[in-house]
Amino acid sequence: MKVIGINGSPRKSWNTETLLTKALEGAAAQGAETELVYLYDLDFKGCISCFACKLIDGPHNGICAVHDDLSPLLKKIEEEADVIILGSPVYFGSMTGEARSFIERLLFAPLVYSHPPRSVFPRKIRTGLIHTMNVTEEMSIARGYGAMFKSTEASFRMIFGEAETFCCYDTYQFPDYSKVVMEYMDPAKKAARREEVFPDDCWKAYEFGCRLASEA
């Protein structure tokens, strides 16, 4: 079994990567081979709307025709992955630009404009989405983040068959809050939550990876 974690955060060794790593550890505990990929290490763009993936009997039907640093990852997902787990922080109510560009390239090619829409991805795989954010769960609800979470999950489910989401709220954003302007959140409360709650989030991410791998 192959489980690929995809880090859509520009920051390494921080909240998103930590949770992705824990999820992959959970998958490995179920016997999976795991790999972690950093999107910000790759040189690629989102879908360019060439529609080569939609041409009837075309050489790239159902497959993205663009060749760049993302191409090997897309090929590996198509040929090897039993589970993929995409992690991204939430910026301005959405995933990062790289995560969004990756999603466009990953999901659009196998999408068929039939009625209803269907997928030509060669098999069903389980997918997981990890969202990290600086705001509290209550603030995320007030700002309507849930619609983005549900929409992204629905898109993955349409293409791959299975998808579920794990959210981590109120994350510790800076190594040293005294060096940044931060007037609307209490650094002491942030530090306490990092100490008291984030370890539980890490355990939940581990269980998330266990479940995805065990049900694949």
Mean per-residue pLDDT, 80-109: 97
Mean per-residue pLDDT, 191-211: 93
Tokens of 2: 């192959």
Q: Are 21 and 99 in contact (CB under 8 A)?
A: no
Q: pLDDT-derived band of residue 188, with 50, 70 and 90 as boundaries? A: confident
Burial 100-126 (b: 16+ CB within 10 A, else e): ebbbbbbbbbbbeeeeeeebebeeebb
Q: pLDDT-derived band of residue 216, with 50, 70 and 90 as boundaries? A: confident
Domain with 180, as residue range(s), is 2-214
Nearest to 39 by CA among 105, 132, 124: 105
Q: pLDDT-derived band of residue 199, with 50, 70 and 90 as boundaries? A: very high
Q: Which of 1-10, 82-91, 95-104, 166-175 has the lowest mean pLDDT?
A: 166-175
Q: Determine the pLDDT at residue 124.
A: 95
- According to DSSP, residue 106 is labeled H
For residues 127 and 145, give the distance between their C-alpha atoms in angstroms, rounded to a whole number. Answer: 20
Q: pLDDT-derived band of residue 85, with 50, 70 and 90 as boundaries? A: very high
DSSP 3-state of 165 = strand
Q: Please count the structural domains in the chain.
A: 1
pLDDT, tens digit (0-9, with 9 covering 90-100), for 20-57? 999 999 999 999 999 999 999 999 999 999 999 999 88
pLDDT, tens digit (0-9, with 9 covering 90-100), for 51-79? 999 998 878 889 999 999 999 999 999 99
Q: Determine the pLDDT at residue 213.
A: 96
Q: Is the pLDDT of residue 149 over 90?
A: yes
Q: Domain holding 82: CATH number?
A: 3.40.50.360
Cα 40-175-202 angle, rounded to 5 deg: 70
pTM for the whole thing? 0.94
Q: What distances in angstroms separate CA 165 from CA 85, 117, 134, one per listed residue?
A: 10, 22, 17
Q: Is the pLDDT of residue 152 over 90?
A: yes
